[in-house]
Structure 1
Amino acid sequence: MAAESSHNVKLLDRFDALLKQVASPRDVALRWQPVSSGCWQLAVSTTDKDGLLTVLAGLLTAHGVDISAGDLLTLPAEPGSRQRKILDLFQVVLEESEAQHTMQCFDEDFRSCNEQLAEGGIEAVRDLIIERTALRFAARPAAQEQLLPVEIVIDNESSETDTILQITSQDTPGFLFAFANALSLLTINIEQATVRTEEGMVQDVFVIRDLRGRKITDRDKLRELRFACALIKQFAYLLPHSPNPGQAIRQFRDLASRMLENPQQAADLTSIRSTGTLQVLAEVMGVSRFLWEDFLRMQHENLFPLIRDRAEIDRSFDKKELAALLQEQLAAGVELEERVQILNDFKDREMFRIDLRHITGLCGDVEFARGLSDLADVVVAAAAELCHAQIAPRFGRPQLAGQPCPWAILAAGKFGGREMGFASDLELLFVYQGAGQTSGRRTVDNSTYFEEFVRIFLKTLKVRKEGIFELDLRLRPFGSKGTLASALPALQNYYAVDGKAESFERMAMIKLRPVAGDETLCAEVLKVRDAFVYSERPFDTQNLIHLRKRMATELVDSGSVNLKYSPGALVDIEFFLQAQQIKHGAADPRLRVPNSMQALKRLQQAGLIETAQADRIRRAYRCFRRTIDALRAVRGHAKDLTLPDPDSADYRYLARRLGFADSEALSREISWSREFSQGLLSPQNL
């Protein structure tokens, strides 16, 4: 330590003139000096502030400055002053042709950030620094090789006043920024540090204290420190894998904060330090805010095995396997309330796993939609049985002519079409055979029983967030003014030729699909649907065009592009296909399918749509669906249908999530898709 102290004294003497330029927190002194070809020394002095190293290291990373060595010093406060100055020296490598421009830009940015730091603290500039740094991570190729283990030595013996932290590891660009960010979270101050990089390996030494200026001796705090060193190093290395590195950095702070609140959880987190596991973390954090928030706030204890065990993510269950797995878990529940909780935990965990498989590229768009739809089928059927079990002790079972009254649940919309994606809701239609009474001591009409059944059903499936498996019953006869469950005769009257059904319902009913209940009743409901939708009655083209114009006017914010409702958007394709199904489905029952792309395939096979046109429709449809899913994945909100500004960071990250080389490539694909789709609903095509 004596040799180190002597070295520091020499540095202070050498840079005394620089230090004297700093008198207030807003003051900054910077000096660049050439060392050798392409190598420079940067000297920085200002007053010490919380988060200062995060800002300094972040801006160096953002400007592409590679640090080969560094000495970081925090000076004692001068007599009569409470302010401490810092002297940070970095030896850096700069591109010769860009050196002067890089130095000038860095100086300007650091002076500006230091002023904001002095006035508003680290929170005033943290988002800016993260975004600037994230752009550099995003531009760097993703690491392919395995990161070598990190050696961490915590020395509390060599100094009476300080904890010495030594880190030896593979060089990781941006680590100093990520590490400083983590230490600020752990409320640890870096008093001084040396950073040395030789032949791709770094040996960093940090002299640290707690916020009260004391050595760190608390056992839990030391465990947190070791955790942060190991995990942050790996995480920074994997940030280029993340579609949105800035978001990933923010959410990693949330993870660390949450885990470190509980020492047991922090210990658990150290068991997931494999590159594969951390790559999953980086991808999830950088794609979906709502998934990550759900993971942290609601069920991280249950979901950690999914993150930790790649085999769990790799597994794919079909509908039968999901049903068997759920029934096995429900069998462990004793009380009805406990089984309802098991059902919802199963739903959330499996939904998270399916979402995770899609985010990490293990399943494509079609398999993703099918997986979510299968899960919804299984969950709806199980929820229905739990609801009957809850009502039957009070009223008995509904009867019809002395026999059990059949009931059915049918899906509509994206659920009915097996086209579910991020933040999809569940559109349902509840039907029972007809009038009668229940078999219990306290008898009620079947209509009363099934109204109560649906009310309990609505409470049984818990919604994590608006739009995610949220139940939607608006397709029922008379919409929100109608009964929650429909008797079959009432359904037949509503959808009769002279019934009260609206023209738009003719298209909506195409996607009706049985999910649970009596198969015979389901078949009868589909006969009612077919007689209504696929009748010889001419399709009302003018009504469709009028409805489409209203959507574009009433559902799209002025000046924005809504990928579902704007002119030339997803609805144009869906309406075009549905119009063709109605027009030709009476003569060809093979066209009566709820899935849009399956309908397109059958229309093509029937010679009703040319192959080249069908290929163009698939391309545009896939563009809209993938982009909408990518938007919804971030916040988990069904209404995320509006494109960000093409010049914004959100748009750049959207392009990255979708695998486009840049924003312009995404814009070209969306523009082509909109221009093509806008012509589909012309009178000559209908």
Structure 2
Amino acid sequence: MSTSERSSALTDLARRGFGRLEAAEALLVELQESLGLGRDELAEDAAGAADPDAALGALARIARRDAASITALRGDERGWRAMWALLGASTGFADFFLRHPEELTHLVGAGAELPSADEMRTTLLESVGAVEGFAARGGEESWVALRVRYRRMLARIAAYDLLSHSPVDEVAAVAARLADAAGAALEASLAVARTRVSVGGAGVGLFPREQVAATQLAIIGMGKTGARELNYVSDVDVIFVGGASEPLFEEIGESRVVDISTRLAVQTMRGISGAEIEPPLWEVDANLRPEGKQGALVRTLESHLSYYDRWAKSWEFQALLKARPIAGDSALGDAYVQAVQPKVWTSAARENFVDSVQRMRERVTEHLPPDDVPYQLKLGPGGIRDVEFTVQLLQLVHGLTDERIRQRGTLEALDALVAEGYIGRADAAAFARDYRLLRLLEHRVQLRQLRRTHLMPSRPEELRVLARATGLAETGEAVWDRWEAVKREVRDIHVRLFYRPLLSAVAALSADERVLSTEQAHDRLAAIGFADPAGALRHIASLTSGLSRKATIQRHLMPVMIRWFADGVDPDYGLLAFRRLSERLGDTPWFLRMLRDSSGAAESLTRVLSGSRYVGELMEWIPESAAWLDDPDLLAPRSGVALQAEARAIQTRHETIEDAMRSVRALRRRELLRTAMAALLGAITVEQLAQSLTTITEVTIQATLRAVRREVVPPEDDGLDFSVIAMGRFGGQELGFGSDADVMYVYRPNGVDPQRAHELALQLVAELRRHSDDRRLPLELDADLRPEGRNGPVARSLEAYAEYYRRWSLSWEAQALLRARGVAGSVKLIRAFTALADEVRYPRSVDPQALREIKRIKARVENERLPQGVDPRRHLKLGPGGLSDVEWLVQLIQLEHAHHVPGLRTTSTMAALRAAQEAGLIPAAAADRLADAWRLASRLRSANTVLSGQTSDVMPTDRAKLDGIGRLLEYPPRSATQVEEDWMGASRRARRAFEKLFYG
């Protein structure tokens, strides 16, 4: 061949789709000689394959081993095309034909039609010489023969699939035949197993042949196998049911029957999945059986039913939705399915129905590597699992009362749901089309190497092969784009199928959309988590009825918003709060525009409303706060300087103290709401939350004090100094939602008559309390940490404090001063009080008796102050390992060492804890455990308040509330147990550290 001819030949190969041109040309020349076929003919035939290079290379390898098998097939046009299609789409089949080149001759006529279920069962039983349920031989050679014959059948199915003019339309038929082939393979493997376990059977026989023959083993297909929608290479989920005739039961007993059945099941699985000369077919997975991996591999029918009646969880019934006898004793299999099917459909009425369905969906995604998510055909967003989950949930919701939609297969179920009016025809048709396309892609990526995978290829050359193998696109980039479009549509259709029809019961929709009755919508709302479906329907009707622009926009928004509410902590309250908010805002243009056009505002709104009654009630009073959700900057807590400036401006605008304080209270509510919304959306840390709440409280007290002082203190007594000292968590800048503001009041006459000064100070305190009171969002100014507690004067002069601390101070009062910090009033007086407090709280030396007294008081607090009937472990403040343990330990160390360790002179518990660690006073490990428990207790306490709108120091026992708290703390859904375990573990570790350091 001349240089120009060679160049022209290579160009022709490139045009035909070859990539490795030089190698392809060499292989064509080699095959021309070995097969006696023309080069151009070979090139043209190979060019029709998905991967011409791979097909040509595979054929050359086979020809080197057995050219005759190839040439024998040449006379059959269909078989010849099937060979090229298989070799070009599947390196797995290329390897199979290389191992068994004689199998090529069985491709004669392949591709014309699919093998029938009966044909495959007969063929595979013949491969092991099965007669009356027993194989001719029980050795490994029978398994090898079975596997080779199975792959012969699989090749015929794949040839039909690959040569189809519209493979996407053949997905259902192909998947059904793959499931039939799996059942036939299990039947043949069971025949080998019967021979093997019989006495004299291949060295493993243990039981008399007549006992084995009389023992029944039904193999129940689950999942895709049961639904006849199997992949080329997929785990085959099964459940084994054992039994025997009545005479055998009486003769040998149930235990012996189960023993024989179990050994049959083990050998059946080994014949399919065990390591042999011929590679395994697929994994036989029996983990859906009662008790999963921990349960018995085989049970009798009575044992199965006893388990399902007494111990089974809802998801186990739902797993049985697709159960179908596929091999073994058909009568026993049918009896099993007939007995369990009613339990499947009544499971939807169980209280934990939604949780169980969602958990069943999540079980398969829990260990999904993050790097795989963008390539996941099955488990990723918009993937196969989304389609199957949606259809299954619709079936379980409405199948409770409608037997006509109780179908095993996904596509059959979709057709039934349309026929019975549960979803619209257009949406169902699009969903079915997308499902077939996703399954086609899955089939082709599994065919490539005949291995189990659900990942789209990432390399351009593999994507190009996939495009050619599916016929969905011309290029790899185009097939990827097609897939991305399908994923987006699947997610959108999921919303339309499940949520939009809810509007049909309450809103003015087109005839095509009017697919659910009120009763059906009620059931669907209950299924997705609404506790009061009737109430939810009323709210939806109110929001979407009418011809106004607002109602029109709400009708478009409501389907997806219902889904978001359903995913939230309290869907019912969230929807109610949204209705109230919408009514308050009316037709406000910015609100409707934000919900319609903002990328995340509507979803964030559903999240905060369903996650917190605290937020919902405040938003009803401050509806304009919804606008913050469209701008992250507006959600950020405002600085103390900005709030101070606003508070001062308020007081200059209002002539009366009542008007001024009304505005100050509004400022406080607004900023608390801003902080709560930011915390719910994860926009701020727990430290930022505490700082924001502290700042808001300080500004409120400062503004109130300024207003009150103008009313109470006349000009002639203006020399009076008065200050508010923050104590406790307020002083430590560690406030959470629901925390009281612990304070002390100090004054200095400064030229005012002492008695007059005392009277004015008491008036200031009284008015400060009165005007800071907020019935909607209480601000409790708690002065119980003052000297002598509730029995002492509510306000003292600086000199009185000095005298008291010098003469009568108790150890707990010095301890209380450790978190004293001036926050309002005279700056000079605050400095003087701080200097006095430093002398008391940071003493040069501490009386050991005082330390013993603190320990004694701590023990008494634990015994006496815990509420009756409350589990101490659940009390976040006073319980073991709670806030009190950490704070008392830190304060004890401060009293002992702060005089000599400057870092301990802080009102912050966490700062003091770290200072103690750095000074070597607390081991690092203990400090970490104490800090973890303190932070978690603080977060749990705030979350409890935000969730319920009520203050409590006790972690709830109600699982729904615990789950809600977990969601606020960014745990995944249904994490009630994990929240509880995390707290119990953290508090237990902190308590051990506390006891060793505090009492030791």
Q: TM-score, normalised by structure 2?
A: 0.47
Check whether the contact 2:724–2:824 (CA below 8 A) recurs between aligned residues: yes
Aligned equivalents of 1:194, 1:132: Cα separation in 2: 29
Q: Out of 376-385 and 615-624, give the one that drifted further.
A: 615-624
Give the SS at the match of 1:445. Answer: helix
Aligned equivalents of 1:330, 1:106: Cα separation in 2: 67
Check whether the contact 1:428–1:473 (CA below 8 A) recurs between aligned residues: yes
Aligned equivalents of 1:311, 1:183: Cα separation in 2: 39
2:963 alignment partner in structure 1: 652
> Is residue 937 of structure 2 the alignment partner of residue 613 of structure 1?
no
1:99 alignment partner in structure 2: 322
Task: Compute the displacement of 1:670 (Å).
Answer: 2.0
1:291 alignment partner in structure 2: 615
Cα deviation, 1:20-71, whole Å, max 9, x if unaligned, reads xxxxxxxxxxxxxxx98569xxxxxxxxxxxxxxxxxxxxxxxxxxxxxxxx
Output aligned runs, 1:496-515, within 5 Å: 496=806, 498-499=807-808, 501-515=809-823
CA shift in 2, pair 1:437/1:137, >3 Å:
farther
Check whether the contact 1:234–1:275 (CA below 8 A) recurs between aligned residues: no
Cα deviation, 1:309-349, whole Å, max 9, x if unaligned, reads 44311x34332232223334444434433222221111111
Aligned equivalents of 1:525, 1:289: Cα separation in 2: 40
Check whether the contact 1:465–1:636 (CA below 8 A) recurs between aligned residues: no
2:726 alignment partner in structure 1: 411
Instruction: Give the counterpart of 1:489 among 783, 799, 806.
Output: 799
CA shift in 2, pair 1:255/1:132, >3 Å:
farther
2:149 alignment partner in structure 1: none
1:519 alignment partner in structure 2: 827
Give the SS at the match of 1:409. Answer: strand
CA shift in 2, pair 1:566/1:407, >3 Å:
same
Task: Compute the displacement of 1:175 (Å).
Answer: 5.7
**Is the strand fraction higher in 1 or 2?**
1
Aligned equivalents of 1:369, 1:256: Cα separation in 2: 31
**Is the helix fraction higher in 1 or 2?**
2
CA shift in 2, pair 1:106/1:325, >3 Å:
farther
Check whether the contact 2:565–2:574 (CA below 8 A) recurs between aligned residues: no
Identity of aligned residues (%): 20
Output aligned runs, 1:61-460, within 5 Å: 98-99=321-322, 104-105=342-343, 107-108=345-346, 171=492, 173=494, 193=513, 220=546, 222-223=548-549, 225-239=551-565, 245-257=568-580, 259-260=582-583, 263-264=586-587, 268-269=591-592, 271-273=594-596, 274-296=598-620, 298-300=621-623, 302-313=624-635, 315-392=636-713, 395-396=714-715, 398=717, 404-434=719-749, 437=752, 445-460=756-771
Give the SS at the match of 1:608. Answer: coil
CA shift in 2, pair 1:191/1:502, >3 Å:
farther
Q: Out of 594-603 and 428-437, give the one that drifted further.
A: 428-437
Aligned equivalents of 1:600, 1:622: Cα separation in 2: 12
Give the SS at the match of 1:278. Answer: helix
Aligned equivalents of 1:445, 1:397: Cα separation in 2: 11
Check whether the contact 1:175–1:236 (CA below 8 A) recurs between aligned residues: no
Aligned equivalents of 1:619, 1:249: Cα separation in 2: 34
Partner AA of 2:571 in structure 1: A
Cα deviation, 1:341-375, whole Å, max 9, x if unaligned, reads 22111111111112211211111011111122122
Partner AA of 2:965 in structure 1: L
Aligned equivalents of 1:321, 1:655: Cα separation in 2: 33
CA shift in 2, pair 1:36/1:614, >3 Å:
closer
> Is residue 841 of structure 2 the alignment partner of residue 603 of structure 1?
no
CA shift in 2, pair 1:130/1:665, >3 Å:
closer
Check whether the contact 1:655–1:666 (CA below 8 A) recurs between aligned residues: yes
Aligned residues: 526
Aligned equivalents of 1:266, 1:508: Cα separation in 2: 53
Aligned-CA RMSD value: 4.2
Aligned equivalents of 1:562, 1:636: Cα separation in 2: 18
Aligned equivalents of 1:579, 1:317: Cα separation in 2: 35
Check whether the contact 1:630–1:654 (CA below 8 A) recurs between aligned residues: yes
Partner AA of 1:421 in structure 2: G
Give the SS at the match of 1:304. Answer: helix
CA shift in 2, pair 1:104/1:547, >3 Å:
farther
Task: Compute the displacement of 1:552 (Å).
Answer: 2.9
Aligned equivalents of 1:106, 1:190: Cα separation in 2: 34
Aligned equivalents of 1:227, 1:289: Cα separation in 2: 26
Give the SS at the match of 2:611. Answer: coil
Q: Out of 538-547 and 508-517, give the one that drifted further.
A: 538-547
Tell me which structure has the larger Cα radius of gyration: 2
Aligned equivalents of 1:341, 1:388: Cα separation in 2: 17
2:783 alignment partner in structure 1: 473
Instruction: Give the counterpart of 1:529 among 805, 818, 837.
Output: 837
> Is residue 868 of structure 2 the alignment partner of residue 630 of structure 1?
no
Cα deviation, 1:66-116, whole Å, max 9, x if unaligned, reads xxxxxxxxxxxxxxxxxxxxxxxxxxxx99864359964563256x69xxx
Task: Compute the displacement of 1:517 (Å).
Answer: 2.0
Partner AA of 2:787 in structure 1: P
Gaps of 5+ in 1: 1-34, 40-93, 114-126, 146-164, 197-210
CA shift in 2, pair 1:503/1:130, >3 Å:
farther
Task: Compute the displacement of 1:128 (Å).
Answer: 8.2
Gaps of 5+ in 2: 1-225, 231-316, 324-336, 367-372, 374-379, 383-423, 428-488, 517-536
Partner AA of 2:922 in structure 1: I
CA shift in 2, pair 1:224/1:387, >3 Å:
same
Check whether the contact 2:591–2:627 (CA below 8 A) recurs between aligned residues: no
Partner AA of 1:483 in structure 2: P
Partner AA of 1:492 in structure 2: A
Partner AA of 1:423 in structure 2: G
Aligned equivalents of 2:688, 2:565: Cα separation in 1: 27
Task: Compute the displacement of 1:587 (Å).
Answer: 2.7
CA shift in 2, pair 1:254/1:620, >3 Å:
closer
Aligned equivalents of 1:515, 1:570: Cα separation in 2: 23
Task: Compute the displacement of 1:252 (Å).
Answer: 1.6
Structure scoring higher RCO (CA < 8 A, sep ≥ 6) equals 1
Aligned equivalents of 1:332, 1:321: Cα separation in 2: 17
Check whether the contact 2:926–2:990 (CA below 8 A) recurs between aligned residues: no
Aligned equivalents of 1:487, 1:235: Cα separation in 2: 58
CA shift in 2, pair 1:137/1:366, >3 Å:
farther
Q: Out of 598-607 and 653-662, give the one that drifted further.
A: 653-662
Give the SS at the match of 1:171. Answer: helix
CA shift in 2, pair 1:171/1:433, >3 Å:
same
Partner AA of 1:624 in structure 2: A
> Is residue 913 of structure 2 the alignment partner of residue 675 of structure 1?
no
Aligned equivalents of 2:816, 2:856: Cα separation in 1: 16
Task: Compute the displacement of 1:581 (Å).
Answer: 0.4
Partner AA of 1:666 in structure 2: V
Check whether the contact 1:260–1:266 (CA below 8 A) recurs between aligned residues: no
Aligned equivalents of 1:504, 1:625: Cα separation in 2: 23
2:405 alignment partner in structure 1: none
Aligned equivalents of 1:383, 1:682: Cα separation in 2: 43
2:17 alignment partner in structure 1: none
Task: Compute the displacement of 1:247 (Å).
Answer: 0.4
